[in-house]
Amino acid sequence: MSIKNLSYKQTEITGGFWRDRQEINKNATIYAVRDRFKETGRFDAFKCDWEEGKPKKPHFFWDSDVAKWMESVAYITYHGRNAELEKEVDDLVDLIEKNQDENGYFNIYFTVVAPEDRFTVRDAHELYCAGHLIEAAVAYYEATGKDKFLNLMKKYADYIEKVFKIEESAEFLTPGHEEIELALVKLYRCTGEKRYLELSKFFIDQRGARPDKEELMIYNQSHMPVRQQRTAEGHSVRACYLYSCMADIAAEYDDAELKTALDSIFENIVNKRMYITAGIGSSHHGEAFTIDYDLPNPNAYAETCAAISLAMFAGRMNAVSPHGRYGDIVERVLYNGFLSGLSLDGRSFFYENPLEIVRADRTRNVSWGAKEHFPLTRRQAVFDCSCCPPNITRFIASIADYICTLDEDKNILYLNQYMESSSGFTLGGAEVEISQKTDYPWDGRIEIAVKGMKNKTLALRIPAWSDKYEITGAEAKLTNGYAYIDVASDDFSVTLQLDISPFFIESNPKVNANAGRVALQAGPIVYCLEEVDNGPNLRDITISTEPDFKTVWNDELGVAAIEAKAFRTKPCEELYKKATFEKVEITAKFIPYFAFANRDDCDMLVWTRLQ
């Protein structure tokens, strides 16, 4: 395995767009999530003293909620220790130690609510919780050097290996919600103990292959052995957690069958089943992938966690075989369907990320008590099923994971994401440093300085959306979405200029929901119209084919807004009339999709009509 993604540990975000967001994450989000989790009893649950009749009965996924929060603390701590947060984690770890079984087992729900049901209910998130605890333990060890949590989780992982792999004594064979698979890879990479990797591969190999042990179902991707799968199916977060681990295993074992499956699945997602915002899982039924080209906008599910899981999957694919398309998708997630999940102040969250809000539609059947499902229009501080908030905070804290990929055989440094940052690592025996200076994505200019890479190759991802780009300071050859540059000296610098001017995107005509509509994008950012800027009835707006775009900085939101020449239908009294197509010229005001719903509760639209 000569190709690997550089981790957040080797890269610090030093400024710009993501530094701002990491600051908000560090100063607001991590505390907001903690406070909500404390209020809802999720922290106290680790005391394992809940009894029937008491309030705040632990849910079987609560361990994972807090584990992701602990993992985020680790990432935040890595670049600057924080005694208050560490104390919180240490206290939780002490509780885990206290309440862990002799054999290593730890799970709150199956200790205080249903201890007799351990490892009997496949979909009860036991191994999912274990996976998140393992990820947290690894991160906390790497951030702080404290190994107590890691050792507790190694013991748990050993027990899981015994029960599931050695003895096969559990009542199911593979997790109902994937997660532990990729956690075990991290545990292996942290500890060097290969049996954790092998246990991960065991779960991958068994999935969908053992009708004697468990129900083979599409919901959790066990409808067939994973190597035979070619399309993205079922619950979308489960799916991309699985595909992420399949990518890890494919890279670790150079597994051709897995690669074939992954290539096909990735293709299926990004060319058939993904919103322009990189949201996936279009239906709230099963929070699932549905069918090709089925991407309805007002009732898009597009869970924030699913967007994160797609970035995880795409990012890991670079370690299988680097290609610009993976960074393109990670980028589409980062600036759109992921970031929309978080309010600008970092304190509230979307679980679902619709691409259109028409509030009136929600009132139509209210008189009849109809329970139609629509995404919320306002972000919430916490949810009953609150997987997204801690996932958001850990993702932002570790976002530097997605910047660089190294090919150590070929001495290539792939630069996947453009963020003001500084990385240090060894490549081909040399100490290398790379720094980016940029105001991306508000500006297309990225200044890159590299030290210690003489005679090695720097590959800069050229986003598929950037028709024009300019590289100053070096010759470059574009292949597979990267501009390859031979680095001529150990103190080398190059400037990449991407074209971030606004442009329209059209969907494949098979996407029924977007027929006759375009999305506006500038750089990696997808834009939307909000009622607060454009008045009601956004669907009536048609953008001019000569839109005369003006980019205008919006101080309130801290984003680049875009104004475009557009039209509205001339108002009339009649319900129907002979078509006259009388229009009134207006200025349509777009803001980045990720910034929607940060002002008044109002309608919103991504896919607009074009004149």
How many C-beta neighbours within 10 Å does residue 205 have?
Answer: 18
539 touches a second copy by CB under 8 A: yes
Q: Which is nearer to a second copy, 200 or 507 (CB)?
A: 507
DSSP letter, residue 67 = H
Shortest CB 370 distance to a second copy, Å: 4
Q: Which residue, 115 or 509, has its beta carbon nearer to a second copy? A: 509
Q: How many residues bind a second copy (CB under 8 A)?
A: 62
Binding to a second copy (CB under 8 A): which residues in 205-234? 218-219
Considering only CA atoms, which of 296, 292, 306 is closest in space to residue 357? 296
Binders of a second copy among residues 415 to 474 (CB under 8 A) are 465, 467
Q: Is 387 assigned a catalytic role?
A: yes
CB of 300 to a second copy, least distance (A): 12
Structure tokens at 396: 């932002």
In the bound state with a second copy, the residue whose beta carbon lies nearer, of 83 and 366, is 366
| 3-class state of residue 395 by DSSP | helix
Which has the closest alpha carbon to 201: 254, 246, 263? 246
Q: Within 13 Å, how many C-alpha atoms sit on residue 145's CB side?
A: 1
Q: Does 44 bind a second copy (CB under 8 A)?
A: no
Is 48 one of the catalytic residues?
no
Nearer to a second copy, 38 or 362 (CB): 362
Q: Which of residues 545-604 bind a second copy (CB under 8 A)?
A: 568-569, 571-581
C-alpha distances out from residue 48 to 56, 134, 362, Å: 12, 19, 42
Element at 423 (helix H, strand E)? strand 421-427
Q: How far is the CB of 513 from a second copy (least distance, A)?
A: 8
CA distances from 444 to 82, 289, 326, 418 (A): 35, 34, 19, 9
**379 close to 349: Cβ distance less than 8 angstroms:** yes
> Which residues from 366-425 bind a second copy, rule CB under 8 A?
367-370
Using CB atoms within 10 Å of the CB of residue 31, give its burial: 0 to 12 exposed, 13 to 18 middle, 19+ buried.
middle
> Whose Cβ is closer to a second copy: residue 87's or residue 373's?
373
Question: Closer CB to a second copy, residue 288 or residue 419?
Answer: 288
**DSSP code, position 437:** E
Give least dist CB 454 to a second copy, A: 38
Contacting a second copy within 274-293 (CB under 8 A):
274, 276, 282-283, 285-286, 288, 290-291, 293
The backbone torsions φ and ψ at residue 530, rounded to the nearest 5 degrees and listed phi first, read -115, 145
Task: Measure the CA–CA gap between 453 and 486, rounded to whole angstroms.
Answer: 9
Name residue, tokens 């090919």.
Answer: 407
| Closest by Cα among 589, 501, 508, 565 to 271 | 508
Specify the residue, 77 or 283, whose C-beta has the smaller distance to a second copy. 283
- Cβ atoms of 467 and 502 within 8 Å: the answer is no
Q: In the set 139, 392, 518, 606, which binds a second copy (CB under 8 A)?
A: 518
Catalytic residue among 287, 356, 420, 531: 287
Q: Where do runs of H (alpha helix) occur along 228-295? A: 236-253, 256-272
Shortest CB 609 distance to a second copy, Å: 5
**C-alpha neighbours within 13 Å on the C-beta side of residue 319:** 25
Cβ 315 to a second copy shortest distance, Å: 20
| Of the candidate residues 509, 553, 556, 601, the single one contacting a second copy (CB under 8 A) | 509
Pick the catalytic residue: 245, 387, 404, 602? 387
**From the list 358, 498, 564, 588, which residue makes contact with a second copy (rule: CB under 8 A)?**
358
Out of 430, 505, 532, 586, which residue is the one contacting a second copy (CB under 8 A)?
Answer: 505
Cβ atoms of 77 and 143 within 8 Å: the answer is yes
- By the criterion CB under 8 A, which residues form the site for a second copy? 218-219, 270-272, 274, 276, 282-283, 285-286, 288, 290-291, 293-294, 296, 358, 360-361, 363-365, 367-370, 465, 467, 503-512, 515-516, 518-519, 537, 539-540, 542, 568-569, 571-581, 609-610
Active site (catalytic) residues: 287, 387
